[in-house]
């Protein structure tokens, strides 16, 4: 998938929080594209709530992978600020999308953060080498996505996630991180200017 991940004004200094906000938008798009691929392959989602549950799992995975990827490029304080800002911005997007389907007035940010914290702890137990998640981490995501989707062809969902979606997601994530944290030479509109939906 194509993403717009370069800053318009390349000379302007940006805070870690601004970069995290842009990356949160990119990761939401990456997750949405993976969900669309699953649906296009015939895997079953019946409700918007179910689709958001899949997005939540995909975003939790992407946030954890981001944490692993920036581990050697940021000091501990920077990394914590960056990942917290990324998590909070993603929680805002999740909340806004849940509110579109739920008029109860409930705040959905905290449940998202609680799920994210649980997944971060689980994923931390798995190997991550050469900037890639190990088999068990990929299997965990595959099973988490399978648990949120419909029963039709459910035995194949995990394989699709592991073999097709994860490599595609990681390729786009790496590009987004490189463009946002490195020096870009494109005049594309920065991802931070777009509104997640």
From first to last of its 197 residues, the chain has per-residue pLDDT tens of 555 545 455 556 778 899 999 999 999 999 999 999 999 998 988 899 999 999 999 999 999 999 999 998 899 999 999 999 999 999 999 999 998 887 777 889 999 999 999 999 999 999 999 999 999 999 999 999 999 987 776 789 999 999 999 999 999 999 999 888 874 333 333 333 333 33
Continuous segment of H or E residues that includes residue 95: helix 76-101
Name the residue among 181, 185, 189, 172 with its Cα closest to residue 4: 189
**Distance of CA 66 to CAs 89, 101, 102, Å?**
14, 29, 30
Distance CA(173)–CA(1), nearest Å, equals 10
Q: Where are the beta strands (DSSP E) in the chain?
A: 128-129, 132-133
> What's the pLDDT at 72?
86
Distance CA(175)–CA(16), nearest Å, equals 17
Burial of residue 8 (number of CB atoms within 10 Å: 0-12, 13-18, 19+): middle
> What's the pLDDT at 4?
53
């Amino acid at each position: 998938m194509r993403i717009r991940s370069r800053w318009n004004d390349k000379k302007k200094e940006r805070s870690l929080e601004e970069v995290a906000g842009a990356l949160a938008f990119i990761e939401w798009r990456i997750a949405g594209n993976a969900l669309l691929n699953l649906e296009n392959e015939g895997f079953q989602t019946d409700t918007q709530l179910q689709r958001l549950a899949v997005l939540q799992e995909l975003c939790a995975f992407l946030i954890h992978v981001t944490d692993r990827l920036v581990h050697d490029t940021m000091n501990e304080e920077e990394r914590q600020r960056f990942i917290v800002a990324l998590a909070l911005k993603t929680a805002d997007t999740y909340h806004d999308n849940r509110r579109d389907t739920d008029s109860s007035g409930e705040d959905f940010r905290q449940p998202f953060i609680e799920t994210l914290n649980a997944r971060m702890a689980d994923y931390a137990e798995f190997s991550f080498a050469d900037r890639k998640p190990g088999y068990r981490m990929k299997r965990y995501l595959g099973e988490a996505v399978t648990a949120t989707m419909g029963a039709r062809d459910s035995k194949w969902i995990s394989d699709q996630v592991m073999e097709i979606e994860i490599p595609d997601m990681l390729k786009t994530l790496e590009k987004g991180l490189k463009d946002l944290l490195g020096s870009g030479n494109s005049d594309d509109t920065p991802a931070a200017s777009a509104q997640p939906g």
